[in-house]
Structure 1
Amino acid sequence: MCIPWKRHIAAALLLICLPLLVIGCGGGGGGGGTRTISGVATKGPIVGGLISVYRLTTAGARGALIGSGTTGADGNYAVKIPASVTGPVVVTVTGQPGATYLSETTGQQVPFTAAESFSAAVDNFNPAVPVTVSPLTEAAFEKLPLILAQKPGTITTEVLQSSVVAANNQVGDLFNVTDILAPPAGNAAYVAALTVIDQMIVDSKATGSVTDTTAVTTIINQAVADVSTSAPAYQTFAQLFTISATEAVAADPSLTTVVGNLTQSVTNPPAEPNFSDVTAPSVVTGLTATTYALNATTSAVVLNWNPSTDNIAVAGYDIYRDGGKVGSSTTTSFTDPAVTPNVTYSYTVVAFDAAGNFAAASAPLSVKPNQTSLNVTVSGSLSSDLLSRLDILAPTAPTSLTAVTTALTGTTSSVALSWAAATDTVGVTGYEVYRDGVKLATVASTSYTDPSVTSAITYAYTVKAFDAAGNRSDFSTALSVTPNRPSLGVTVSGQVNTGP
């Protein structure tokens, strides 16, 4: 395969401006004790890299140096900073003599030179939460000043924090990673993104004109600066990413699904949010909970609340248990999967929008899962429905999933799905429909139409059933559907009819 790097590398290299890393003395002053910021620096894991921690300025740049250290043999780091430091910080890993990173595609240790660095912006430093530094966090850090430039008025700490969240979320949405600051280990989407980026770096070096990661980093950063398929920089990035994704899958077929989902996201990126928005969503109201026992020592808590409103749109909700974030949801429900019965927990929910504006927390809800009751509704009184309290069995998985595709335009189609009804000991409440592992919709019937997909691309559809107690079935057997551009009605039931 001919890799079209030569016509892109020269332009990319001209646009690289390597920051001068100026390390002052004193590391942020003495007195008042210290706290530790920790995490992992990875492209794979970066060994022997210089870690520097800075305050984050309201311009989205590195401010005062407050601590430094070195990454270990697994890429992990732990740096002491003054205990007085709160709010936004930047963690930067820079190459130095002897530093290396592990190439995901070749399995070899590669020099990580002084010309190379990645940074991660953190909206509110918490010593209990690890901070990953990677090419994804570097792209978000480079995006941050561009977001701040769109904010009206004075940049307050709150606006800076919301902008950090918005930058990190935008890059996460682009690469299918929920939290780019969380450790990549065990996160298939994050590992896949880093693998394809590593393949891009390997391909760039094959030309002989590139010797490190800086050209690829620049191409990614320029693409994230304007996430639009009409932008030339983004077109270059998407083209090179797709080529490297194909090579990564050829080398490791186990990555086929996750890299396929990733490529779909990169080639059809989410629209840029309105970053000038500084209005937070309304406070969540109507928070209620239902608990049910999983076994003698653990219970689950199902939370529901009223939808918030926003001047543009609510992007999602963060859920907190006893002040610590336990997850996020794009719907008005969330299941905390395993807590201890007979212990009282306090839950709150915070709405946020795409620009990173956060509402105040909802009124706290105290929940005490009762070990002797398998399903207790917590909203002022206990449920007396014995049947629902005894329902701990999931429905059967849906079967006989079929699809009919219909051409809408020369490039888009719809996909009408149908399946056989699942069964349940009490009753099936509805179904969740997924495309390529991403939930599309929740329906009460045994059919759903995916309104618009790209023709001539293969998609994998699955369906889950659920009941009123929140029990969910296994996925149905996946159905591969390839809308055929010339054919306006393609019935898919075991194989695709390619039409005339």
Structure 2
Amino acid sequence: MCIPWKKHIVAALLLLCLPLMMIGCGGGGGGGATSVVSGTATKGPIAGGLVSVYRLLQSGSRGSLVGSGTTEADGSYAVNVPASVTGPLVVTVTGQTGSTYLSESTGAAVPFTASESFSAVVDNFNPDVPITVSPLTEMAFQKLPLILEEKPGTITTEVLQSSIVAANAQVGALFNVTDILAPPADDQVYTAALMVIDQMVVDSKATGAVTDTSAVMTVLTQAIVEVDPAAPAYQTFVDVFTEAATEVAVDNPGAVTAAVGSITTQVTDPPPEPNFSDVTAPSVVTGVAATTYAATSSTSSVVLAWEAVTDNIAVAGYDVYRDGSKIGTSNSTGFTDPSVTSNITYSYTVVAFDAAGNFAAASAPLSVKPNQASLSVTVSGQLSNDLVSQLDLVAPAAPTGLAAVTAAISGTDSSVALSWTGSTDNVGVAGYEVYRNGVKITTVTTTSYIDPSVASGTTYSYTVKAFDAAGNRSSSSTALSVTPNQASLGVTVTGQVQTGP
């Protein structure tokens, strides 16, 4: 399909607003105690970019500058800010003389000009958590003011923070990325999304009408205004994205192809936007309980479980905290902290949230002290020496909803992207084992897996088992038959042929 880039570029250039802020470098300034804002700026990696850290205004726009610096050759940055800086922040990376980014499509260093910038917004600055700045985080930054406009009444700090969470989650859901502020190198899907966006930029430059990322970023930011396949701006985004995704899949056979396929499916049929006018938080989590298991002679795992909560619309998930720091997010009523030091007391809390970014108050803290010597555990001050009572002998429920999407990676081979519905367990599911033709091929902690290379035209039987931290395994899921068909790029799934693009 021929993408009319010239038409999109003209619209982009008419609508694009690129105010330049002349900012001097020099970190947090003034001396005194400081904290460090750190992370990575990437499109590919942005080298020599100007990093500016701002407070965030209630409107969702940049406030006062609190620190600045420059990205390293690998895109990493570290900026000193006053230790008093907390709460919502914006990190903006702007091109300057000598700045470049590494194109994933061509492998070449490309100028990153003063007219180009990406921003990332965080709800509550934590110096221990790196902040990625990328085209996806720029989309969320542009979405934030639109979400705030839907909020009734006064925009409090809490409403601002919940809106930031919602904006980042909205973009993440669109691209199948769990956390757009986390390092892309840790997420194959995030990396694949950036590869497709880079190909979009390469395609737009091929027209000769633009020399930077501006046209593509306008297409992306206009698409996030209204995530609706019927909206013209969103349909333009789908057309351009799918064309670039096809090019990336052809040039990068294997796991990248499968990841690109999963993103394209999501972009083409996106999840509905949350009700951003919702300001009602879920109820507080109750019934938090813990069971510990010895992992080594000095470490233990802690398996947490709690009661489900209610919300006026729906609960989206739960954040889990240990000693006040978030250690993970769960979409079920359980979580496993895989490794802590034995004979030390930890305090766990759980916070429920909804799709609009509203957070409940934290649960009552639960004190847990894994005791390696006796395999006993102190929970809320009560020491249990009954080992049998702590043993979890109940297996998780079998996974359901196993489905597959295949993608051709060569003339004879294909990849198979599997997904399934998460299992439930009396304590908590620790992970899943994936089997092909009865042989275990991997273990994962998420509800998806990409089998990177199988022979096309051959039928394979896939099953999945869930297991918990105690080693209990569920029965196998219902077997799923998959026949990658190179000729049509289709797939036979339980007897039904699904035709590929």
Q: Cα–Cα, structure 1 residues 93 and 26, in superposed 2: closer, same or farther, change >3 Å? A: closer
1:165-224 per-residue CA deviation (whole Å, 9 max, x = no partner) reads 110111111111111111112211111111111111111111111211111111111111
Equivalent positions of 1:462-473 (< 5 A) are 462-466=463-467, 469=470, 471=472
User: Equivalents in 2 of 1:303, 1:77: separation in Å?
Assistant: 35
* Corresponding position: 1:70 with 2:70: yes
In the alignment of these two chains, the number of paired residues is: 443
1:281 aligns with 2:262: no
The yes-or-no answer on 1:430 pairing with 2:397 is yes
Counterpart-to-counterpart distance in 2, 1:167 and 1:72: 28
**Aligned counterparts of 1:151 and 1:351: Cα–Cα separation in 2:** 20
Q: Compute the displacement of 1:294 (Å).
A: 2.5
Say whether 1:440 aligns with 2:421.
Answer: yes
User: What amino acid maps onto 2:217 in structure 1?
Assistant: T
Cα distance change, pair 344–49 in 1 and its aligned pair in 2 (3 A): same
Query: Which residue identity is paired with 2:345?
Result: T
Pair 216,461 (structure 1): closer, same or farther in 2 beyond 3 Å: farther
Residue 140 (structure 2) aligns with: 140
Rounded to whole Å, the distance in 2 between the matches of 1:84 and 1:377 is: 36
**Equivalent residue runs for 1:167-186 within 5 Å:** 167-186=167-186
Q: State the match for 1:382 in structure 2.
A: 384
**C-alpha deviation, 1:266, in angstroms:** 1.1
For 1:299-318, what aligned pairs fall within 5 Å after superposition? 299-318=300-319
Rounded to whole Å, the distance in 2 between the matches of 1:289 and 1:387 is 12
Secondary structure of the corresponding residue to residue 346 of structure 1 = strand
C-alpha displacement at 1:15, in angstroms?
1.6
The residue that corresponds to 1:404 in the other structure is none
Q: Work out the CA distance in 1 between the residues paired with 2:47 and 2:29.
A: 28
- 1:212-231 alignment runs, 5 A limit: 212-231=212-231
- Residue 319 (structure 1) shift: 0.4
Give the superposition deviation at 1:70: 0.7
Q: Does 1:198 align with 2:165?
A: no
The corresponding residue for 1:347 is: 348
Deviation digits for residues 99-134 of structure 1 (CA, Å, limit 9, x no counterpart): 000011111110001110000111111111111110
Distance 2:498 2:360 in 1: 50
Q: Which moved more, 1:337-346 or 1:24-33?
A: 24-33
Letter in 2 for 1:272: E
Q: TM-score of the superposition, structure 1-length normalised? A: 0.81
Partner of 2:369: 368
CA distance in 1, matches of 2:289, 2:389: 20
Query: Which stretch shows the higher mean deviation, 29-38 or 285-294?
Result: 29-38
- Structure 1 residues 344 and 209: CA distance shift in structure 2, 3 A: same
1:205–1:212 CA contact under 8 A, matched in 2: yes
Seen in structure 2, the aligned counterparts of structure 1 residues 429 and 318 have a Cα distance that, compared at 3 Å, is closer
CA contact (8 A) 2:483 2:493 kept: no
- CA change 1:117–1:474 in 2 (3 A) is farther
For residues 427-483 of structure 1, the C-alpha deviation after alignment (integer angstroms, 9 at most, x for no partner) is 744222454454424379xxxxxxxxxxxxx99975223369354589989743799
Q: In the alignment, which residue of structure 1 is the partner of 2:234? A: 234
2:303 paired with 1:322? no
- Once residues 58 and 390 of structure 2 are traced to their aligned partners in structure 1, the CA distance between those partners, rounded to angstroms, is 53
Q: Alignment RMSD, CA only?
A: 3.0
Task: Report the CA distance between 1:241 and its aligned residue.
Answer: 1.0
- Partner amino acid for 1:73? A
CA–CA separation in structure 2 for the residues paired with 1:440 and 1:105: 34
Contact 2:480 2:494 survives alignment (8 Å): no
Give the % identical residues: 67
Matched residue type, 2:131? V
Does the 8 Å contact 2:398/2:476 carry over to 1? no
Partner of 1:271: 272
Match of 1:399? none
- Alpha-carbon distance in 1 for matches of 2:385, 2:173: 39
Query: 1:479-499 CA deviation, whole Å, 9 max, x = no partner?
Result: 43799xxxxxx8737x9699x
Map residues 22-41 of structure 1 onto 2, 5 A cutoff. 22-23=22-23, 30=30, 32-41=32-41
Which amino acid in structure 2 is aligned with residue 442 of structure 1? S
Q: Does 2:362 align with 1:358? A: no
State the distance in 2 between where 1:460 and 1:85 align.
Answer: 54
Whether the 8 Å contact between 1:375 and 1:469 is mirrored in structure 2 is no
DSSP 3-state at the match of 2:189: helix
Distance 1:77 1:467 in 2: 39
Letter in 1 for 2:62: R
| CA-CA distance at 1:268 after TM superposition | 1.5
In 1, Cα distance between equivalents of 2:253 and 2:331: 31
Q: Is the 8 A contact 2:176 2:189 kept in 1?
A: yes
The 1:472/1:341 distance shift into structure 2, 3 A limit, reads farther
- Identify unmatched segments of 5+ residues in structure 1: 392-425, 445-457, 484-489
- The corresponding residue for 1:108 is 108
Amino acid across the alignment from 1:169: A
5+ residue gaps, structure 2, are 404-416, 426-458, 486-491
Q: In 1, distance between residues paired with 2:375 and 2:43?
A: 45
Task: Give the aligned residue type for 1:103.
Answer: S
Distance 1:383 1:218 in 2: 62
- Distance in 2, matches of 1:32 and 1:76, equals 24
- Please show how residues 6-85 of structure 1 align to structure 2 within 5 Å: 6-23=6-23, 30=30, 32-85=32-85
3-state SS of 2:348 partner: strand
On the 8 A contact 1:481/1:492 being kept in 2, the answer is: no
How high is the TM-score relative to the length of structure 2?
0.81
Q: CA deviation at 1:47?
A: 0.2
| 1:452 paired residue number | none
Query: Does the aligned pair in 1 maintain the 2:349–2:363 contact within 8 Å?
Result: yes
Change in CA separation of 1:331 and 1:497 when aligned onto 2, cut-off 3 Å: closer
3-state SS, counterpart of residue 317 of structure 2 = strand
Q: How does 1:120-159 map to 2 (within 5 A)?
A: 120-159=120-159
Corresponding residue SS for 1:212: coil
Structure 1 equivalent of residue 244 of structure 2: 244
- Which digits, 9 at most, give the CA deviation of each residue in 1:368-421, with x for residues without a partner? 2232466869575638464974x8xxxxxxxxxxxxxxxxxxxxxxxxxxxxxx
Q: Structure 1 residues 128, 75: CA separation in 2 closer, same or farther (over 3 Å shift)?
A: same
Name the SS of the counterpart of 1:291 in structure 2: strand
Do 1:199 and 1:244's aligned partners in 2 also have CA atoms closer than 8 Å?
A: yes
Q: Is the 8 A contact 1:291 1:377 kept in 2?
A: no
Separation in structure 2 between the aligned mates of residue 173 and residue 286 of structure 1, nearest angstrom: 29
Q: Secondary structure at the match of 2:318?
A: strand
2:88 alignment counterpart? 88
Q: State the alpha-carbon separation in 1 of the partners of residues 84 and 460 from structure 2.
A: 51
